[in-house]
Amino acid sequence: MHKLFLALGTSLVLTACAGDPLRDVPRLADVEVAEADGQAGVMAPDGETAADTLPQAATSESAAPRRGLLGMLKRQADAAKSRTPDVTDAAEAALDDTSTDAAPEPEQVVMVAPKPTPRKSGLARLFGASGGSSGGGRGGPKPGAPDYEQVPLGTRLPYGEIARVCGVSNSELGQATQSWPEGGNSYTLYDSAPGNTGAHIFYMTGFGDDCARTFTAALVMFGSPETWEQIHYGPAGASLPVSATDSAYEDVKSGFCRVKRGEPCGKRLPALEKHTVFVSVYERFEDNTRWKNILLHDGEVVAIDVKG
């Protein structure tokens, strides 16, 4: 036991004599560390610095990016600066865009072809018929009028029809047999076969378009407006049927004579008769029970109907 204590005491004495084995190692709290050295500078042994242990670090901010929050903000600012275009370039680009947007679009010019003139067909194309006159006078009958059709000289029409013959002289129409008014020349009747009592071709002149009118008949007679008024305004007039020519005459007379329908023309009747007449067209020479009536006024065919 005594030897054990003796050995233990000897060890303690030797230990105290030897001292602190870490006395030559600098303490962390006693080492001066530069802020930029970080952990590498702290761990360097005596006589060595962080610059001797690590690769040489760059001393300027442009050589190595700063770390941490400030470094990140600086990098973002640098990136934003690099993306910012030059002010002059931006202005020029804006002007270019403005000029491009402001440039008006070119107008589109649409070429419209003129409407082709419709070709005439049939007899109208052959003899130059149109809505106007082809005989050189004033406007002829309108489409749909009873005498609108145009035929060549010598055409024999069915009884009851009337048509125009244009571009011929009166000497080609036959023999002049009647005129209206009597002693005047407003309307003249031409017989293509004088003395023939059968149905044949007749012509009449005095129309505003300078074209003759042609129809087929055995007998033709003029009837005056005065005779018409004596019959229709007399005692028997109330029982007579009213035809198309009767109604048309009332219109013509009322406008020209300035009287009401159903009243005689009066003092203006002689002037009305100078260019107004009824034409009675008979199909047979001996049979006068049925006939066609044509009312002419001021160089036009006003109405056609059947009497009898």
Cβ atoms of residues 41 and 33 within 8 Å: yes
Q: What are 161's two structure tokens? A: 């029809």
Mean pLDDT of 116-123: 37
Give me the residue spans of the domains in the chain: 122-307
pLDDT one-digit tens code per residue, 212-231: 999 999 999 999 999 999 99
265, with CB counted inside 10 A (0-12, 13-18, 19+), is buried
Percent of the chain with pLDDT over 90: 49
What's the pLDDT score for residue 43?
Answer: 46
User: Can you give the pTM of this predicted structure?
Assistant: 0.56
Pick from 3-7, 74-78, 145-149: least confident:
3-7
What's the pLDDT score for residue 50?
Answer: 40
Mean pLDDT of 56-73: 47
Cβ atoms of residues 28 and 35 within 8 Å: no
Cβ atoms of residues 212 and 218 within 8 Å: no
Alpha-carbon gap, residue 304 to 292, rounded angstroms:
7
Report strand pairing: 219-223 vs 212-217.
Answer: unpaired
Question: Contacts from 139-148 at CB under 8 Å and sequence distance 24+?
Answer: 139/208, 139/209, 140/164, 140/207, 140/208, 140/209, 140/211, 141/209, 141/300, 141/301, 145/301, 146/301, 146/303, 146/304, 147/213, 147/301
Task: Tell me which of 37 and 201 has the higher pLDDT.
Answer: 201
Contacts of 28 (CB under 8 A, 6+ apart): 42
* 257 φ/ψ angles, rounded to the nearest 5 degrees: -90, -10
pLDDT one-digit tens code per residue, 193-214: 999 999 999 999 999 999 999 9
Is the pLDDT at 124 greater than 90? The verdict is: no
Within 13 Å and on the Cβ side, how many CA atoms surround 124?
Answer: 13
Helix H or strand E segment including 38: helix 38-42
